[in-house]
Amino acid sequence: MTSGQKKGTFSILVIGIFLGIILWGGFNWALAITNTEEFCISCHEMRDNPYEDLQDTIHFTNRTGIRATCPDCHVPKEWVHKIIRKIQASKELYHHFIVKDLDTPEKYEAKKLQLAQNVWRTMKKTDSRECRNCHHFDSMDFERQESRSADRHEEAIEKGYTCIDCHKGIAHTLPEGYDPGDDAPGGEDEG
């Protein structure tokens, strides 16, 4: 290999590394931007419907001042799961820009039960992974909980329930037509 070929190979390698850093950095920057509540509610469908709904729950305002944001509950923290969720979100972009099936409160309400069931099904499959970013049975002090809650949490541990089995409606009001008897393992869902 001649000196000129070595310089050319080295130059291509340096340019490749430089471009790789820029592309990877840009990808991670875009990922970070799309994992913010500001991004989520930049669409009027999200701002005027589920976000509005969230504001009336304990996950928005509570005695401790800890607020769950949209990505806290709807975007996994682990990289592989996060990328899978982002790929799935492309379908949501199609519905936003092309189908426009949630662009009015009436359309949103008409689909709310189906949308909620999709989220609940996913949460069930993942053992309520996103809930567990903040809530863990191991960290719960059953002595400090109301006896009803402590009993239900102990039952959940015993029977292998996951958060969403009992806590539908905790961050958004339950959709019209939802029947807790259809899928609640331990009786009526708590909000």
In a domain, 91, yes or no: yes
User: Would 168 be classed as within a structural domain?
Assistant: no
Place of tokens 């949308």: 115
Does pTM surpass 0.85?
A: no
In a domain, 74, yes or no: yes
Q: What's the structural domain count of the chain?
A: 1
Each residue's pLDDT tens digit, 108-137: 999 999 999 999 999 999 999 999 989 999
Residue 42 has pLDDT above 90, yes or no: yes
* Closest CA relative to residue 46, chosen from 66, 70, 30, 68: 70
Q: Is residue 108, in this structure, part of any structural domain at all? A: yes
